[in-house]
Amino acid sequence: MDPKHNRKPFVGGNLKMNGSRAMLKEIIDRLNPLKFDDYVEVAIAPPSIFLDLAHRSVRKGVNVAAQNAFNCTKGAYTGEVSPEQLKDLGIDWVILGHSERREIFKESDELVASKVGHALKSNMKVIACIGEKLEERESEKTEEVVIRQLQAIAVKVDDWKNVVIAYEPVWAIGTGKVATPQQAQDVHLIIRDWLAKNISEKVAQDTRIIYGGSVKGTNSAELAKQFDVDGFLVGGASLTEDFIKIIECFIPSEN
């Protein structure tokens, strides 16, 4: 079978520090009736204070993800949340290494990798983010940066079945700019080739690599056609009805 068709598409909605209980209800009310379970896996990542509300409100088949987690079980880490606490709340997914965490909060490759490792050991599923800045792309360092970030994470991963890799070019996040379908495909192929050469061919073919960076209903269908694009991590559009359009690009039209 075509390896792409062995990989169930994944669409995550990262609400970032946006929303309210009322807005979250609107988002979930749009998601719950949608029949996508056979075709695409979906998760929403609200701010941490709304995780319990989201978990209690979504129907079975809609996943809830945290936007961050620390690399320790417990301790004097004011403001942090552990994977174990998330699991106790019923949360199975977490986004780690997002460029906003790396840039604004100065999370290093090593810290991100440590967080990934600890979350996986806590039986969480991880959306691990990697991606280059504009100046790095313009100086032709995209592959160098993406592989450096991926290598750091790979050291901490024993079993890749609970990892989704999100390629998010920093220059396309929240800017309105978006990688062309070919640009996205090129980097996703670099990532998959690295996995094949350094981990295993099976991991390379089974691991979902999703794209993030100004994904909208108007560009998602073309991006989704790329062989190595297995879904999306959606930012601003996850707050609107556009999120449904993005999910629907993976659902056969007859449904």
User: CA-CA distance, 208 to 119, in Å (whole number)?
Assistant: 18
- Degrees to nearest 5, angle at CA 50 with 27 and 18: 60
Rg (alpha carbons) of the chain, rounded to whole number: 17
169, two tokens = 């070019």
Quick check: 162 and 126 in contact, CB under 8 A?
yes
Pick from 188, 132, 199, 193: which is nearest to 159 by CA?
A: 199
Q: What single DSSP character describes residue 174?
A: S
In sequence order, what are the residues at sequence separation of 6 or more whose Cβ sits closer than 8 angstroms to the Cβ of residue 139? none
98 is catalytic: yes
Give SS3 for 63: strand
Helix pair angle (142-154, 181-198), 10° resolution: 40
The residue type of 106 is K
Residue in 41, 107, 136, 168 annotated catalytic: 168
Residue in 98, 107, 118, 132 annotated catalytic: 98
Q: Which residues are catalytic?
A: 98, 168
